Structure 1
Amino acid sequence: MKKTKLIMVGILIICLQSCCPFLADCENNDDDFPIDPSFSQYEPVLLDRNDFENSVSLKEPISISTSGKIYSKDNLLFINEVHKGFHIYDNTDPTSPTPLKFLEAPGSTDLAIRDNMIYINQATDLIAVEYNNANGITLTKRVINVFPELRSPDGFLPFDIPENNVVIGWTLSN
């Protein structure tokens, strides 16, 4: 009976070794989940909520500086300009795509297309945009605060963000 209790206590101690808070020599592994923004090398780029909601527009093509995901639909090619918007190319000739427009959507990181509707992850919001090369774009729907706030490139969350502001990107601080 004593042997069984001793074995059970030994197994319990081995199982509890993975429970960090209960052990004295436990290492603090907060590097996996950075929270304190004072250690971040980046500062958030903010946009007022009203300006943010009115920021989606169609502009003349610009050159690609920081490309993200690429999406192809029919003869169109969409290339994400990280946190800025999407380059739209005519991809009729894949050997030489022709730039058509730039879909400005600050804070954007991804898109999906179904029929003629473009769904964009714009910072914290999900927006639906109808694109017509001849008539431009129409913002048909915005669902606010669907996505978590953008993390800094070194993994930190924004801190002390004023009310009615949205993080649309990050800049390297000096």
Structure 2
Amino acid sequence: MKNQKFLYVVLICIALQSCCLPPFDCNDDFVEPFSGSNYEPVFLNRTDFEKSVSVKNSLAIGTSGKIYVKDNLLFINELNKGFHVYDNADPANPKAIKFLEAPGSTDLAIRRDMIYINQATDLIAVEYNSETNTANLTKRIPNTFPQLRSPDGFDAYDVPENSVVVDWKLKN
């Protein structure tokens, strides 16, 4: 009876061990690279990234994302680039005012006169003055959000030290 129990234990151990044979390596540190992705990451040095929020002249909308309305202003996300700002006093004829550049941005929320933007991995607070069309970055909370994924769902690997993924471009 003892030999039978011992034999069952040995067989179970062998069966469980076989799950870790190649091609299934039981290394928990293995991370699948994005080699299967059709996109490659666009990096920005963290120092440049933190200085990248600015107000520029209006641009044509390319790849639009979410839309946000605040009073007479309309904010349209340019995916991973920033936000188009429109004067929406006449909703039938909105007028482009400026472009709020924030590389890596995909969404915003507004409370009172403070704009909260997810800029790639960071949460930033920007005070936008519609009369002077200026923006003042008032707060940055680094690494609040996970790294941007490629449009086909892959994570970047080998991200250079002190760099942030701000966009993905289609491979040629």
Structure 1 residue 89, shift from structure 2 partner: 0.3
Q: What 5-or-longer segments of structure 2 have no aligned partner?
A: 1-17, 20-30
The TM-score, its normalising length taken from structure 2, stands at 0.80
The residue aligned with 1:89 is 86
- Provide the aligned C-alpha RMSD in A: 1.4
| Residues 113 and 128, structure 2, Cα contact 8 Å, conserved in 1 | yes
Give every structure 1 segment of 4 or more consecutive aligned residues whose post-TM-superposition deviation is greater than 4 Å: none
**Equivalences for 1:84-123 in 2 at 5 Å?**
84-123=81-120
The residue aligned with 1:173 is 171
The TM-score, its normalising length taken from structure 1, stands at 0.80
The residue aligned with 2:45 is 48
The residue aligned with 2:162 is 164
Structure 1 residue 134, shift from structure 2 partner: 2.9
Q: What 5-or-longer segments of structure 1 have no aligned partner?
A: 1-20, 23-33
SS at match of 2:35: helix
Equivalences, count? 143
Structure 1 residue 41, shift from structure 2 partner: 1.0
* CA distance in structure 1 between the partners assigned to 2:151 and 2:144 by the alignment: 21
Percent identity, please. Answer: 66
1:137 pairs with 135, 139, 150, which one? 135
Structure 1 residue 35, shift from structure 2 partner: 3.7
User: Which digits, 9 at most, give the CA deviation of each residue in 1:114-155, with x for residues without a partner?
Assistant: 000000000000000000023311100000000000000110
| Residues 33 and 156, structure 2, Cα contact 8 Å, conserved in 1 | no
The residue aligned with 2:24 is none
